[in-house]
Amino acid sequence: MGGHCPTCPIDEPPLDVPLLKKRIMAILLHLSSTDKMPKHVHCPPGSTSWCFWQRAIAQSKEPPVHADHDTLPLDVGAKLVPIFQRLSDENYLKGVPGGQPRMPMKPCINWFGKCVPNLFM
């Protein structure tokens, strides 16, 4: 994957380590969600969330089907688990300068969704 997302500005306030860990894992869970098994519990809530599911809930709407959004194949999601576990390791996160994520959530969700499946296919 070679470094981090080059176009992602640091656009979030400093985060505490447990919250950062939760948000990192939220990316993987979000991208591996399906209609039969939605995994949006750790996605940030609210009408401005990067998560389509959480936006719909905040607007009292029925969440759209996952077929309308990029979803990782199950085998790809499984291969990414160890990577996301390392990214969310508390010792690693404590070393992130200023507590800022290296890859802010919103712009990099698209990057993961478009690039990561190609790495395993």
pLDDT per residue as tens digits for the range 60-100: 999 988 887 778 888 888 899 999 998 888 877 776 555 55
Q: Which of 110, 111, 31 is nearest to 71 (CA)?
A: 31
Task: Please state the domain count of the chain.
Answer: 1
Query: Is 46 part of any domain?
Result: yes
Q: What is the mean pLDDT of residues 12-24?
A: 74
Give this prediction's pTM: 0.63
Residue 2 domain flag: no
The answer to the question of residue 38 being in a domain is yes
Could you give the angle at the alpha carbon of 72 between the alpha carbons of 46 and 3, nearest 5°? 85
Model confidence at 9, pLDDT cuts 50, 70, 90, reads: very low
Helix axis angle for 74-87 and 17-31, nearest 10°, is 170
- Domain residues for 96? 17-119
11 or 47: which carries more pLDDT confidence?
47
What does pLDDT average to over the chain? 75
3 belongs to a structural domain = no
